[in-house]
Amino acid sequence: MKRLLATTENVAALFLLAIALLTAGNVALRDLFSMQVPDWFDGSRLLQSIALFWGIAIATYRGGHICVDIVWEHLGPRGRRWLDVFATLVTFAFLAPLAWMVWVKVGSTGTQATSDLRLPLVWFYPLGALGATVAALLGALRAIELVRGKEPETQAATPAAESADGS
C-alpha cells in the first residue's frame, strides 16, 4: 500500500513539475527570444489534468482535502469515524462514475491531436484516466479501512514538522 501511495504522490508531483518547467520555459523563451514553446498551452492544460486526477487520488485516500469540520469537530470518536465513512462513500460514489466516463472519453479520442505539434491526445488521456481510476480505488480502500476501524495512512511528514499546538 505504501508503494501505491508513494507512486501516486510522485506521479502527481512529476506532472506538476512538468507544468512548471513548461510554463517557465515558455515565459523565458517569449521574453528573451520572442518565441514560444509549440503547443505550450495545450501541453500545460493536458499535463494539468493528469496532475489533478493523480492529486485527487492521494487527497481522497488521506482525507487531506480542503473541508469544513463544523459538525465533525463536535462529534465523539465514533461519530467522527462514521461521518468520515459517509463522506468517503459519497466521494467514491462520484469518483467511480467519473473514472468510468474518463475512460469512455479515452475510447472516443480517435485521432484528435494538439494544434502545433500534432501530438495525439490519446497519449495524455489514458494517464488522466488512470489517475481517476486510482482516485476511485483509493476512495474505496479508505472507506473499507474506516469501516474496519483502521485509520488510513496519513501524511508522510513526521509529527515533528508540526508546532506544539498541532498546527
pLDDT in tens, 107-153: 988 888 888 889 898 889 999 999 999 999 999 999 999 888 877 76
* Lowest mean pLDDT segment, chosen from 3-12, 49-58, 66-75: 66-75
166 has pLDDT over 60:
no
Residues 96-116: b if buried by 16+ CB within 10 A, e if exposed: bebbeebbeebeeeeeebbee
Percent with pLDDT over 70 in the chain:
87
pLDDT in tens, 75-101: 888 888 888 899 899 999 999 999 999
